[in-house]
C-alpha cells in the first residue's frame, strides 16, 4: 500500500510539475528536406530520398583506375549540401586516398537536380554526410 501511495504521489507531482501553461510560444516553422525526382508523390519523402541516394551511389560510383586490394576496407566521408537551387555542392571530403575521394565527389556531384529543401516555405540548403566504405 505504501508503494502505491508513493507511486501516485510521484506521478501526481511529475504531471503537475510539467503541466504549466506556456503562453506566446509556437512552432515557428518546419524544415522540409529536398525532394528527389520521382519521390514527389511519396508520403515518406525522406525515406525515398535516402533510398534513391543509395541507389544513385550504387549505380554511378566508378572505381578509380588505381584502386587496389589495399584500398579494401578504407573509408571516405563526403559532406555535401543540396543548395537552395536543388543542386549538390561538396563541402568537405575526408579520409582515404585522393583518387578515391575524387571518385566519391564525382558521384555526389552527379546527383540529379531536385526540389530544394525549405524552412518556413523559403528555400534552404540542407546538409548531408555520407560514408563511402570500400
Q: Where are the domains of the chain?
A: 30-133
Ramachandran region, residue 100 (left: φ > 0; alpha: ψ -120 to 50; beta: rest): alpha
State pLDDT tens for residues 46-88.
889 999 999 999 999 999 999 988 888 899 999 999 999 999 9
Q: Work out the pLDDT band at 14, boundaries 50, 70, 90.
A: very low
18 secondary structure, DSSP code: T
DSSP E strands: which ranges in the chain? 31-32, 75-82, 88-94, 117-119, 122-124, 126-133
**Could you tell me which CATH number the domain at 30-133 has?**
3.30.1150
Amino acid at each position: 500500500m505504501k508503494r502505491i501511495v508513493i507511486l501516485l504521489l510521484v506521478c501526481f507531482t511529475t504531471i503537475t510539475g510539467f503541466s504549466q501553461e506556456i503562453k506566446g510560444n509556437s512552432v515557428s516553422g518546419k524544415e522540409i528536406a529536398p525532394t528527389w525526382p520521382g519521390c514527389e508523390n511519396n508520403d515518406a519523402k525522406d525515406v525515398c530520398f535516402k533510398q534513391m541516394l543509395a541507389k544513385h551511389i550504387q549505380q554511378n560510383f566508378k572505381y578509380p583506375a588505381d584502386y587496389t586490394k589495399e584500398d579494401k576496407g578504407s573509408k571516405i566521408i563526403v559532406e555535401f549540401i543540396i543548395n537552395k537551387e536543388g543542386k549538390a555542392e561538396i563541402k568537405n571530403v575526408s579520409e582515404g586516398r585522393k583518387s578515391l575521394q575524387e571518385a566519391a565527389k564525382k558521384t555526389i556531384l552527379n546527383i540529379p537536380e531536385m526540389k530544394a529543401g525549405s524552412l518556413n516555405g523559403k528555400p534552404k540548403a540542407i546538409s548531408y554526410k555520407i560514408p563511402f566504405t570500400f
